[in-house]
Copies of this chain bind each other. A is one copy, B any other.
Amino acid sequence: MHILKVAISGLGSVGQQLAKLLVSRHHYYLDKYQYDVRIVGVCSSKSGIIAEQGLSLEAVLDKSQHTSGLTGTLFINTVPADILIEAGPTELHSGEPGLSYIRMALSRRMQVVCLSKGALVHDVAGLMQLAKQHATSMLFSGATASALPTMDLLQVSLAGCRIKQVKAILTGTTNMILSEMMDTGCRFDEALHKAQLLGIAEPDPSLDTQGWDTANKITIIANAVFAAKVKVTEIKRDCIEHITPEHIGKWKLANLTPRLIGIINNDGAQCEVAVKLELFPQHHPFATVHGRTKAIYVDTAEMGEMFVIGGASNLQATAAAALKDLELIMRSIVV
């Protein structure tokens, strides 16, 4: 039996869910991998707590027990962890503060599981290079589409295959709005309003409806898996705000279903990355991807075509995706 020390940066709703799920799996990890997994430190934006022997779930969640100022650089440089799970909010353009946290953790030879997108959008290739340089690793299954397998599909299930094309429905909100418009014939703003009432769309929904969320995720995948070296601000990006009931009516008549997708075309030499509004015929699996559901399609030279549809889009599913990465790290660590 070995002790595996985990630190969590970010204690919002995802970070808290993560801590709860991790603690609930303590016996499972012990049985399956002989790892005594302990949370040895957590930090939020203003405070943190560190205990090398491990923290109770109560101490993790109760910020009144945390030390003011024990966050950021100080936290990452002090916490005696084997693995950092970065689950904080990040600014999408700079990737901060997650980017600095991850760089520092990798430099300290921690393994990193990343749930926040900003750092990855900004420099996933650089972070992967840094991990390699320090003989450690960084996994980020939960960052690209929560529970829908994207990175592990491409890197594990399709290991060794030449991937010719990826198409993916990566944003639940946009798919929900498009589904609502198709189902009811309503206007874009009505469908958006309904998604906001259900708590699915943000008060400022433009990140989703202007295609930025899909663009961020497909950029991460393209740069991580295909070494595409693309910038999210430079890829072609369709949005869904201009779609009218007239468009919907015309598509329905033609038995076509609109989906906002991230797309990667890889001919071996060049990699085209974009966000596109595409129309799918009635019997295409993407036409069955309804509401908030996400999906990914991959075409390979050796294994043909593959669709993955589903994976819940809630806090627990996102936390479970991060813990999937944690478990993959457990399997690969030799102690």
Establish whether residues B153 and A157, one from each chain, have CB atoms under 8 Å apart when the complex forms: yes
**A30 → chain B closest CB, angstroms:** 13
Stretch of A67-75, A193-201, A269-277, A323-331 with 4 or more beta carbons under 8 angstroms from chain B: A323-331
A161: interface (CB < 8 Å): yes
Q: How far is the CA of A8 from the CA of B131 in the complex (A)?
A: 35
Give CA–CA (A152, B328) in the complex, Å. 12
Nearest residue (CB) in B for A290 is B283
Q: Mark A300-322, 1 if CB is under 8 A from B, else 0.
A: 00111111111110101101110
Answer whether A317 and B332 are a contact pair too, CB < 8 Å, given A157-B157, A327-B159. Answer: no
- Given A28-B160, A156-B156, A157-B157, A311 contacting B303 (CB threshold 8 A): yes
A323, closest chain B residue (CB):
B160
- A253 at the B interface (CB under 8 A): no
Whether B327 lies near A302 (C-beta < 8 A) is no
Say how far A309's CB is from chain B's closest CB, in angstroms: 4
Q: Does A249 contact B (CB under 8 A)?
A: no
Contact partner of A309 (CB less than 8 A), chosen from B156, B161, B307, B321, is: B307
Least CB distance from A266 to B in Å reads 15
**Which chain A residues (16-44) contact chain B, with CB distance < 8 Å?**
21, 25, 28
The reply on A89 being an interface residue by CB < 8 A is no
Contacts of A331 in B (CB 8 A): 332
Query: Does A285 touch B at the CB level, under 8 Å?
Result: yes
Q: Is A149 an interface residue (CB 8 A)?
A: yes
Evaluate contact between A156 and B161: CB separation under 8 angstroms: no
> Which residue of the partner chain B has the closest CB to A316?
B302
* In contact, B159 and A324 (Cβ under 8 angstroms): yes
Chain B CB within 8 A of A119 CB:
no
Contact of A308 among B25, B308, B314 (CB under 8 A): B308
Bound: A308/B296 CA distance, A: 9
Number of identical monomers bound together in the oligomeric complex: 2
Contact of A310 among B21, B284, B307, B321 (CB under 8 A): B307
The distance from the CB of A2 to the nearest CB of chain B, in whole angstroms, is: 16
Q: Is A228 an interface residue (CB 8 A)?
A: no
| Closest chain B residue to A295, Cβ basis | B307
Given contacts A153-B157, A156-B328, A157-B152, contact A304 B309 (CB under 8 A): no
Q: Is the CB of A309 within 8 A of B310?
A: no
Nearest Cβ in chain B — how far from A180, in angstroms?
A: 16
A10 to B: closest C-beta gap in Å: 19
Report A's interface with B, CB cutoff 8 A. 21, 25, 28, 147-149, 152-153, 156-161, 283-285, 288, 290, 302-312, 314, 316-317, 319-321, 323-324, 327-328, 331-332, 334
Mind listing 25 A-B residue pairs with CB under 8 Å? A28-B160, A147-B304, A147-B306, A148-B306, A149-B157, A152-B152, A152-B157, A156-B156, A157-B157, A157-B324, A158-B324, A159-B323, A159-B328, A283-B288, A284-B288, A285-B288, A285-B307, A285-B309, A302-B320, A303-B312, A304-B310, A304-B311, A304-B314, A305-B311, A306-B310
A-B interface, 7 closest residue pairs, ranked by CB to CB distance from nearest: A304-B312, A147-B303, A302-B320, A149-B157, A306-B310, A307-B309, A159-B327
